[in-house]
Amino acid sequence: MTSAAVPNQLLIGGRWCESATGERLAVIDPATGREVDSVPVAARSDLDEALRVAASAWGDWREVDVWTRSAVLRRAAELVRERAEPIAETMTQEQGKPLAEARSEVGAAADQFDWYADEARRMYGRLVDGHSRANRLMVMRQPVGPVAAFTPWNFPALLPARKLAPAIAAGCSVILKPAEEAPRTAMHIAVALQDAGLPDGVLGIVTGHPAEISEHLIASDVIRKVTLTGSVPVGRRLLHLAADGIKSVSMELGGHSPLLVFADADVEEAAEVAARGKFRNSGQVCICASRFFVQDEIAADFTEAFVEVARGLRLGPGDDPATEVGPLSNERRLLAAERLVADAVGKGAHVVLGGRRPENMPEKLAGGFWIEPTVLVDVTQDMAIMSEEPFCPVAPIVTFADLEDGLAKANDTPYGLAGYVFTNDTRTAFLVAEGLEVGMVGVNNVVIATAEAPFGGVKQSGVGREGGAEGIDAYLETKYVNVRL
């Protein structure tokens, strides 16, 4: 398979193949609502073969020296960057985001492989001085084993890379199930790994019906580790499945990130950064600010500036260079967005921008999943937009009185993924960063995810961390050895 081809098959044992049944799922272009490709529906026999191969490949890959693993990951990073354009074009076609955002995501995915090429050589054990010189105490770090990895559709290159890079660096084999809505981007990544020299079987790709695949893989004794990026309900289900087998888990789940703007902040700059951050990827970003809390005395000015920025964003198909906001990725998200707006308006909120499907779209885009960037004011806590993860371009703006009031409102959620604060006061910045019940905080910025830093949440937003030096820990077991001389 060449780098320019768009993979659309299962990857089992190093071979791209159809499913045993020949059944396929349609891949839909969100901008048009039309089918652009299809991928196989893995049968049980396909999953069993993927499990067999993963078990066998792990036995060999864990014995490969870390310098060789590092070289494979480094070469994969280079190939992903070289092939950025076809990967980004595939991503835009199946996920809908603007091409510029897709290119940026491909670069971020490459960074994961680059980072873990180094971390592969940093999996240090240690010697421990014990009570007696007659004994030598050692701590080893070894790969956990075959991994079942599940990723969503909103970042179809970056999120698989966040799991594949550390798992492969640690010496694990992986069976990846990418989202059925946007599966081919991950397949491009798999081709890059193959071409970089990853041995056959270390990586498998299966597509099809999520519940059937997850239940079958997690129930297998082959799988030692389960990792998911997804919603809280899916995470809860997979945690139950993993618990039956006492399997290690990493879960990066939903978010509903607060952004607090204090009166001393630069209002115009805060509004610009906040609005562009919110509507990136049409609001389909787990860590994007999705509840905007503004101190009373600047609320009117901030709202006016925020709306002005949002109004100026160009809505359109991702392959148009002028587009800044693309379609929602599927019809479910469009219907959910409309429901959230209707619920808020029904309970007293006011729509100051958007809130509807755009009119006069070109005929070829009429079947796409479009909604205008939307801003709501007069929002109260009883509205669904304040308690449900929105995952759409709808921004609710709420006021607060002081630091204590702002933190109380920001933390009034079962989620705890990320939070943001805009202030020019160092004391306020530290107190809010410490007081937010989240796993990540941005101060005067909203673009905080990077390969070299840990990524993850607290409360119902997940378990464990991806990225940074911490990211490889999820794929390692610690073994203690006591030698009596």
Residue 226 and residue 360 share a domain? no
What pLDDT does 5 receive?
72
Residue 435 and residue 476 share a domain? no
The string of pLDDT tens digits covering residues 88-113 is 999 999 999 999 999 999 999 999 99
List the chain pLDDT tens, one digit each, 485 residues: 333 477 899 999 999 999 999 999 999 999 999 999 999 999 999 999 999 999 999 999 999 999 999 999 999 999 999 999 999 999 999 999 999 999 999 999 999 999 999 999 999 999 999 999 999 999 999 999 999 999 999 999 999 999 999 999 999 999 999 999 999 999 999 999 999 999 999 999 999 999 999 999 999 999 999 999 999 999 999 999 999 999 999 999 999 999 999 999 999 999 999 999 999 999 999 999 999 999 999 999 999 999 999 999 999 999 999 999 999 999 999 999 999 999 999 999 999 999 999 998 999 999 999 999 999 999 999 999 999 999 999 999 999 999 999 999 999 999 999 999 999 999 999 999 999 999 999 999 999 999 999 999 999 999 999 999 999 999 999 999 999 99
In which residue are the tokens 């320019």 written?
4
CA distance 262 to 244: 47
What pLDDT does 360 receive?
86
CATH code for position 208: 3.40.605.10
The string of pLDDT tens digits covering residues 149-183 is 999 999 999 999 999 999 999 999 999 999 999 99
CA distance 325 to 152: 20
CB 416 within 8 A of CB 399: no
Is residue 214 one of the residues assigned to a domain? yes
Is residue 2 one of the residues assigned to a domain? no
Spatial CB neighbours of 16, under 8 Å, sequence gap ≥ 6? 1, 7, 9, 10
- Confidence (pTM): 0.95
Give the closest residue to 150 by CA, choosing from 97, 215, 199: 215
CATH code for position 387: 3.40.309.10
Is residue 3 one of the residues assigned to a domain? no
Is residue 97 one of the residues assigned to a domain? yes
Could you list the active site residues?
252, 286
What pLDDT does 2 receive?
39
Q: Which helix (H) or strand (E) holds 375?
A: strand 374-377
Is residue 4 one of the residues assigned to a domain? no
Is residue 5 one of the residues assigned to a domain? no
**Six token digits for residue 220:** 């297998």
Residue 433 and residue 381 share a domain? yes
Residue 160 and residue 20 share a domain? yes
Q: Is 368 helix (H, G, I), strand (E, B) or coil?
A: coil
CA distance 354 to 333: 16
Residue 262 and residue 191 share a domain? no
What pLDDT does 6 receive?
76
Residue 200 and residue 127 share a domain? yes
Is residue 300 one of the residues assigned to a domain? yes
What pLDDT does 11 receive?
98
Query: Which domain does 227 fall in, by range?
Result: 10-254+460-484
How many domains does the structure of the chain reveal?
Answer: 2
Residue 244 and residue 263 share a domain? no
Residue 203 and residue 334 share a domain? no
Residue 202 and residue 278 share a domain? no
